[in-house]
Chains A and B, each alone.
Chain A
Amino acid sequence: MTTVAPAGSRVIFERPELLIDRSTHYCPGCGHGVVHRLIAEVLGELGLGSRTIAVAPVGCAVFAYDYIGVDFVEAPHGRAPAVATGIRRVRPDAFVLTYQGDGDLAAIGTAEIVHAAGRGELLTAVFVNNGIYGMTGGQMAPTTLLGQRSTSSPGGREAAFHGYPIPMTEMLAIMPGVAYAARGSVVDAPAIGRTKQYLRRACEVQLEGRGFAIVEVISNCPVGWGMTPTESIERLRDVVAKQYRPGVIVDRTGEG
C-alpha cells in the first residue's frame, strides 16, 4: 500500500503491504494482532512475501491466514512444525514460517516442535505465549504461571496438583539444531520494537541456512485472564515478564 501524504508532510506510519486491510476477530487488546503486524512488516522488509509458505495453528490465530497476505497451510492442533518440515523438504526455495500458541506448541504439539528443532529444520517458528488456552475459553496451558487462575485451575495453578509451567524456549535452546532463540513481548512500544528485531533475525537465520530459529512472544489474553486490556498489559509487565524473561536466549549463528 502506498499512502499519499499531503505536500510538506511525511508518512511515519502505515499498514504494511502484507497485512490485509480487514478488521480482525481478535478480542480488543489481544496481542495476536500486534504479532501479526510485526510478521507482516518483517516479511515485507525482507522481500519474502512472494515465497513465504506459512503454517497456521489451531487456536485463536488459526485465522492468521485471513490477515497476513501470504500462502498458508492450516495444520492440525500442534502439528505445525511437522507440516512445515514437509513443506521445507520439498520446497527448498520457500521461506517457511510457523505460528503457534502455547497450548498448540507446548502441550499437544510438544513432540513436533522438539523434533523439528532437534533436526535443525530451516524454519522460523513464532510462538505466542499468552499463558492460557484462549480459543477454548481460558483453560490452563502448560505455560500458565503458578497461582494463575484459569477455567480449569479455578483455585489457581498449584505445583503439587497441576505441575510447573514449562519453559519451552529455554528447553529448545539447549539443542544444537537451534541456531537462534529469543523471547520478545508485546508489553509496550520499546518491547515491540525489540520483538521485531528478534523476528527479523529469526527470519535471516533461515535465509542464511543456519538452522532452526524460534521467537517466543509473551502476550496477553484479556478475555482468558478475566481482565481489561490495560490490566492485562500491567500483568504482562509486572508478573509474566518476571517469569518468562525477554531477551535473546541462544544465538549460535556466530559459531561458524
Chain B
Amino acid sequence: MTTATIPPATLHHGHRVLMKGNEAMAEAAIRAGCDAYFGYPITPQAELLEWMARRMPEEGRPFVQAESELGAIDMALGAAATGARVLVSSSSPGISLMAEAMSYMAGAEIPMVLVNVMRGGPGLGGIGPSQADYFQATKGHGHGDYRVPVLAPSSIGEAMALMADAFELAERYRTPVFILADGTLGQAMEPVELHFREPARVADTWSVRGADGRQPRVVRSMHLEPEDLEQHNRHLQAKFAEISAREVRWAGENLEGADLVIVAYGTAARVARTAIARARAEGLRAGLFRPITLWPFPSAALAEVAARARGLLTVELSAGQMVEDVRLAVEGRTPVAFEGRTGGMIPTPGEVVEALHRLHAATTARPASATMEVRP
C-alpha cells in the first residue's frame, strides 16, 4: 500500500504512520494552513505536487499545475502578495527557474515557503539525492543583495515540524523561506510521528486585497532612485542581521568530550550518525554537529564546539559546499576535512568511518595548528 491511499482523515498529530517525505511535507503544509499551492512536476519532488493535487481541492483551496516553474513561483508571488499562506515546491532544475521570482519576493518582502527536494546536477544531472544546491540556497539564489532563511530537515518528522516553523518565519520577517531537502528525504518511506501545527495568523499592513476605502497599496521591488534603493537595502540588511541574531538553529549529538566532530545536515547527517556509532565502538571520540538553519549558519556555535575538538569532518552529498562555511566559522583554528559523494551517490557509513580514522591519525600525529591542511 502506498501512503497516497491513506485517508487524510486518519492522519492525526502524534500518530505514527509509514509515509513518504514528500507526502508528509505536503500534508504538514496543509495542516499549517497553506492557502494555495502552485507547482510543476519534477522528480524527486512529484509526490508532493500529486498529494497537493488531490488534497487541496478536498480542502477547498487552490492548486494549480503551472506551465513552468516560472509560472508556478509567479502565481505564488501574486497569491502571497494578497496575504495568503503559500507553498511552492520543486527540485533543483526547477529551483533555478524560480530564482528570478525569489529575488523579487526578497525585494518586495513577500512571505512564501519554497521546498527544494534536491537532485544531482549540474544541468539536467540526475534524479538521485543530492545536496549540491547548498550554494544556491544559502548564497543568494537570484540576483541582488539578499538572503533567505534555509531550513534543513534530516528526518521526515523534522521536515513536518519545520514546515509550520517555515511559514511562521516567512510571515514574521516577510521573507521567502527555503526548506532544503534531498531526494532521499523526499522519496524514502519511514515511520513518522505526525507533526501538525498551524501558526497563528497575524493581520498585516502591507498586502493587497483591493483598496476598499484605504490608500491603495503597491507590492513592489523597484526603487529607481539610488538613494531610495540604498535605503531599502539598508532596511533589508537590518532584517537579515536580526534573523542571523535570532533564528540560528542546530543540533548536537555526542559532542560531550568529542575530539572529532562531523558537521553534516539532512541525509548526510543520518549517514554520519551511523558512522559515529561505529567509530565510537572502534574507540574514536566522535560527535555530530548538525546545522538546521543553513542560513543563518550556526557559525558561533560551531566555532565553540570546534575549539574543544581536534578536527572537524564535513560530510555532504556534494563536492564540498557547506564545508566553505565550516572553514569560515573556525577561521583556520581547527583542521577541517571533507568527505562527500556527488551525482546522486550517498557516502556510506564505512567511508565516513574511514575518513574519521584518517582525521584522527592526521590530528594526533602532530598537534593541530592553524596552518595544517587536512585533505584525506
B143 to chain A, nearest CB (A): 11
Q: Within 8 Å of chain A (Cβ to Cβ): is B84?
A: yes
Cα separation A51 to B221 with both chains bound (whole Å) = 22
Q: Within 8 Å of chain A (Cβ to Cβ): is B263?
A: no
Per-residue B-contact encoding for A93-124, CB less than 8 Å = 1, 0 else = 11100000000000000011011000000000
Q: Which of B71-110 contact A (CB under 8 A)?
A: 71-72, 74-82, 84, 86, 100-101, 104, 108
Cα separation A70 to B219 with both chains bound (whole Å) = 12
Q: Within 8 Å of chain A (Cβ to Cβ): is B189?
A: no
Q: Within 8 Å of chain A (Cβ to Cβ): is B222?
A: yes
Cα separation A136 to B64 with both chains bound (whole Å) = 33
Q: Look across to chain A and name the residue whose beta carbon is closest to the beta carbon of B210.
A: A51
Cα separation A111 to B209 with both chains bound (whole Å) = 26
For residue A83, which residues in chain B have a CB less than 8 angstroms away from its CB?
A: 74-75, 77-78, 81
Cα separation A53 to B217 with both chains bound (whole Å) = 9
For residue A91, which residues in chain B have a CB less than 8 angstroms away from its CB?
A: 82, 84, 209-210
- Interface size bracket, A side: 35 or more
Flag if B70 contacts A112 (CB, 8 Å).
Answer: yes
For residue A56, which residues in chain B have a CB less than 8 angstroms away from its CB?
A: 218, 220
Given contacts A76-B104, A89-B36, A91-B82, whether A71 and B211 have CB atoms under 8 Å apart is yes
Given contacts A53-B210, A115-B67, whether A76 and B36 have CB atoms under 8 Å apart is no
Q: Determine which of A49, A53, A62 lies in contact with B208 in the assembled complex, contact meaning CB atoms within 8 Å.
A: A53
Q: Within 8 Å of chain B (Cβ to Cβ): is A82?
A: yes
Q: Determine which of A71, A86, A89 lies in contact with B74 in the assembled complex, contact meaning CB atoms within 8 Å.
A: A86
Given contacts A85-B64, A90-B84, whether A75 and B74 have CB atoms under 8 Å apart is yes
Flag if A73 contacts B211 (CB, 8 Å).
Answer: no
Given contacts A74-B220, A85-B64, A89-B64, whether A51 and B71 have CB atoms under 8 Å apart is no
Flag if A72 contacts B74 (CB, 8 Å).
Answer: no
Flag if B212 contacts A82 (CB, 8 Å).
Answer: no
For residue A86, which residues in chain B have a CB less than 8 angstroms away from its CB?
A: 36, 38, 64, 74-81, 86
Q: Within 8 Å of chain B (Cβ to Cβ): is A50?
A: yes
Given contacts A76-B100, A95-B210, A112-B74, whether A70 and B67 have CB atoms under 8 Å apart is no
A134 to chain B, nearest CB (A): 15
Q: Within 8 Å of chain A (Cβ to Cβ): is B66?
A: yes
Flag if A72 contacts B219 (CB, 8 Å).
Answer: yes
A20 to chain B, nearest CB (A): 9
Complex A-B, nearest 5 residue pairs according to Cβ-Cβ distance, in ascending order: A86-B78, A82-B74, A86-B79, A86-B75, A83-B78
**Contact sample, A vs B, 20 pairs, CB 8 Å cutoff:** A50-B213, A51-B210, A52-B211, A53-B82, A53-B209, A55-B78, A56-B220, A65-B220, A70-B211, A70-B216, A71-B210, A71-B211, A71-B216, A74-B218, A83-B77, A85-B75, A90-B36, A90-B82, A90-B86, A112-B71
The residues of B with any CB-CB pair to A shorter than 8 Å are: 35-36, 38, 62, 64, 66-68, 70-72, 74-82, 84, 86, 100-101, 104, 108, 208-213, 216-222
The residues of A with any CB-CB pair to B shorter than 8 Å are: 49-53, 55-56, 62, 65, 69-76, 79, 82-91, 93-95, 111-112, 114-115
